[in-house]
Amino acid sequence: MRSFILLALAGLGAQLVDGSLGMAYGVSSTTLLLFVGVAPALASAAVHIAEVGTTAVSGISHASFGNVDWSKIAWMAVPGGIGAFGGAYLLVYASTAEATAGLVEPVVAIFLFCLGVYVLSRFAFRRTERPVDVRPISPRFLTPLGFVAGFLDAMGGGGWGPISTPTLLSSGRMEPRKIIGTVDTSEFVVALCASLGFLFSLTFAEIPWQVVGALLLGGIIAAPLAAFIVRLLPARILGTAVGGVILIVNMKTFFEAIGMSGSAATAGYLLIVTVWAAAIIFAITAIRRDRTVGTESQPA
């Protein structure tokens, strides 16, 4: 019972972050399960089956608060689902899955780290009042993005949000709350297809259903609250938070990929955390300044 409660709390925390920032449920939950000794395929299977329920509740919650751009759902969800099904199947059956993941992970970490730097600078330190210029995004961009994010999500137990959210943020063509709501809502299809891939590849008895139930319970409780938070937070704060989380999550693998270790890596960790804290303070200050200027410019 104690382990069930702890897993439920972990699911609650993961979904609160995922629903608020559009990522990190799969990464954080899978990392926890791997840490306690669950096999990679079973950990990813448990997380994705739980996500079928949590993403459904999250999608409904985001939609009720107006956080979803429905014109982009199909272009991301369908190729994402195809990629997720293939990734799940490959993870279970490919004998080189671990070796493949070891080769892909550093490349993805470097890509995401660079995206995190760009997103953080765009939303935190840019002095314009509106860091977002809402414009259409081509399906030719959304379709491969969805497929790659879905495939890596199933292969690694998480990746849909960490790849989709900062990539869309870096385009500057959608409001951050719309990106987060759209990514979270379309993830239902990705989680469903990945779960089907695992169920086709594994026996029913192999799935750790107690883990699934605990993660599902915590995620369902947190999903409406996270969608409400997204509705309230300004674009600058959301973009800055996403950029910082991307840097924190990927910095260890990034430093390893570029050969940085020891005291140099420690100094890098402290620098990134300090810059993120400064970015949040700068973003909050900019929001207050813009609101003050807007109030003063209004006629009495």
Give me the residue label for tokens 């810059």: 275
**295 exposure class (CB count in 10 Å sphere: 0-12, 13-18, 19+):** exposed
Instruction: Identify the three-state secondary structure at position 261.
Output: coil
| pLDDT in single tens digits along all 300 residues of the chain | 777 888 888 888 888 877 777 777 877 787 778 777 777 778 878 888 998 999 999 999 999 999 999 999 999 999 999 999 988 888 777 644 455 555 556 776 777 778 778 777 777 776 655 556 778 899 999 999 999 999 888 876 667 888 888 889 888 888 888 998 999 999 999 999 989 988 887 877 888 889 899 999 988 998 898 888 888 888 788 878 878 887 887 788 788 888 888 888 899 899 999 998 988 888 888 888 867 755 544 554
What's the whole-model pTM score? Answer: 0.77
Count of C-beta atoms within a 10 Å radius of residue 287: 15
pLDDT tens per residue, range 27-44: 778 777 877 777 777 887
Which residues, 6+ apart, have CB-to-CB distance to 87 below 8 Å? 150, 151, 152, 153, 154, 155, 194, 197
Q: What is the DSSP letter of 207?
A: S
* Annotated domain spans of the chain: 2-297
pLDDT in the model for residue 157: 65
pLDDT in the model for residue 126: 65
Residues constituting the chain: 300
